[in-house]
Structure 1
Amino acid sequence: MSNPGVTDSTDFLALFSSVTLYGLLTSLDDDDDDSKERSITLIREQSFPAKRYTSDLEGHTPVGEQQWDAIPPPVDGLHADLKITDSQLGEGRMGQVFAAHLVSLRKSIRGETLPDGCIPLPSQFCIKLAKPEYIRSLAREAWFYEQLSKKDSGFPAGVITPICFGFFACRLPDNVQIRSWLSIEIELDELSDVSPEGGEPVYDLLDDDEEGWYCYFDDGRRSHLDSPWHLKQWMARADRSPFVGILITERLGTQLPPKFSIPSEDLVRGLPKEIRTELLAVLEDLNTVGILHGDMKFNNVMSRASESQWLSLSSEVCPQHGRVHPWRLIDFDRSYKFNPSNPIDKWYVTGIQNSVLDDWYLRGPS
Structure 2
Amino acid sequence: MSLNTANVPMALNAISALTIHGLITDSDGSNIPVILRRTAAALDLVPFLDLVSVAALDRPRRPYVPRPPSTLPEPGDLHVNLTFGDKKGWGRSSFVHEVNVLPTTTLPAHLPPLVLKVARSKRRAEIAREAWFYDELECLQGVVLPRCYGWFEAELTEGQSFGPWTATRKSRDTENSNPEWRFKGSKLKEMSGSRNYVSVLLLEKLGDTLPMGVPLGDELVKGLYDLFGEISELGVDHRDIRYSNILAAPEGPDTLPSLPSPFTGQVYTHRIIDIEQCEKTNGKTWLLTNWQGSWVQRIVSNLPDGIIIEPWD
- Same-fold status (TM-score > 0.5): yes
Map of 1:109 onto structure 2: none
Could you tell me which amino acid in structure 1 is paired with residue 284 of structure 2? D
Map of 1:171 onto structure 2: 155
Map Cα deviations across residues 211-266 of structure 1 (whole Å, 9 max, x no partner): 5xxxxxxxxxxxxx5x4xx31x447x9xx661100001111111224x32x3xxxx
Distance in 2 of aligned mates of 1:355 and 1:254: 23
Distance in 1 of aligned mates of 2:265 and 2:101: 32
Pairing 1:284–2:229 present: yes
Could you tell me which amino acid in structure 2 is paired with residue 157 of structure 1? Q
The structure-2 alpha-carbon separation of the partners of 1:324 and 1:67, relative to structure 1 and needing over 3 Å to count, comes to: closer
Q: What root-mean-square deviation, in Å, do the aligned CA atoms of Structure 1 and Structure 2 show?
A: 3.4
Pairing 1:312–2:251 present: no
Pairing 1:45–2:39 present: yes
Pairing 1:56–2:46 present: no
Map of 1:77 onto structure 2: 77
* Secondary structure in 1 matching 2:169: coil
Pairing 1:132–2:121 present: yes
Could you tell me which amino acid in structure 2 is paired with residue 80 of structure 1? V
Map Cα deviations across residues 147-185 of structure 1 (whole Å, 9 max, x no partner): 111xxxxx3531101100111111123333212565223
Could you tell me which amino acid in structure 2 is paired with residue 358 of structure 1? Q
- On the 8 A contact 1:253/1:305 being kept in 2, the answer is yes
Give 1:123-272 correspondences, 5 Å limit.
124-149=113-138, 155=139, 157-179=141-163, 182-187=166-171, 189-190=173-174, 193=177, 203-205=178-180, 207=182, 209-211=183-185, 227=187, 230-231=188-189, 233-234=190-191, 242-257=196-211, 259-260=212-213, 262=214, 267=215, 271-272=216-217
Could you tell me which amino acid in structure 2 is paired with residue 325 of structure 1? Y
Pairing 1:329–2:267 present: no
* Secondary structure in 2 matching 1:166: strand
CA shift at 1:47, angstroms? 2.3
Could you tell me which amino acid in structure 2 is paired with residue 351 of structure 1? N
- On the 8 A contact 2:14/2:75 being kept in 1, the answer is no
Distance in 2 of aligned mates of 1:272 and 1:157: 25
TM-score (norm 2): 0.80
Distance in 2 of aligned mates of 1:93 and 1:280: 26
Could you tell me which amino acid in structure 1 is paired with residue 94 of structure 2? G
Distance in 2 of aligned mates of 1:95 and 1:84: 15
Map of 2:111 onto structure 1: 121
The structure-2 alpha-carbon separation of the partners of 1:92 and 1:103, relative to structure 1 and needing over 3 Å to count, comes to: same
Map Cα deviations across residues 71-116 of structure 1 (whole Å, 9 max, x no partner): 99x7652111111122x222101001101021145xxxxxxx51x5
- On the 8 A contact 2:19/2:33 being kept in 1, the answer is yes
The structure-2 alpha-carbon separation of the partners of 1:349 and 1:317, relative to structure 1 and needing over 3 Å to count, comes to: closer
Distance in 2 of aligned mates of 1:180 and 1:364: 33
Structure 1 moving runs of 4+ over 6 Å: 68-72
CA shift at 1:6, angstroms? 3.2
Distance in 1 of aligned mates of 2:219 and 2:230: 17
Q: Structure 1: which 5+ residue stretches go unaligned?
A: 106-112, 150-154, 194-202, 212-224
Distance in 2 of aligned mates of 1:249 and 1:46: 16
The structure-2 alpha-carbon separation of the partners of 1:125 and 1:319, relative to structure 1 and needing over 3 Å to count, comes to: same
- On the 8 A contact 1:19/1:81 being kept in 2, the answer is yes
CA shift at 1:331, angstroms? 0.1
Q: Which has the larger radius of gyration?
A: 1
- On the 8 A contact 1:95/1:129 being kept in 2, the answer is yes
Could you tell me which amino acid in structure 2 is paired with residue 184 of structure 1? T
Could you tell me which amino acid in structure 1 is paired with residue 49 of structure 2? Y
Could you tell me which amino acid in structure 2 is paired with residue 301 of structure 1? I
| Count of aligned pairs between the two proteins | 293
Map of 1:301 onto structure 2: 246
Map Cα deviations across residues 307-330 of structure 1 (whole Å, 9 max, x no partner): 14xx21242122334342110010
Distance in 2 of aligned mates of 1:23 and 1:121: 21
Distance in 2 of aligned mates of 1:330 and 1:63: 23
- On the 8 A contact 2:120/2:171 being kept in 1, the answer is no
Distance in 1 of aligned mates of 2:296 and 2:248: 17
Q: Structure 2: which 5+ residue stretches go unaligned?
A: 303-307
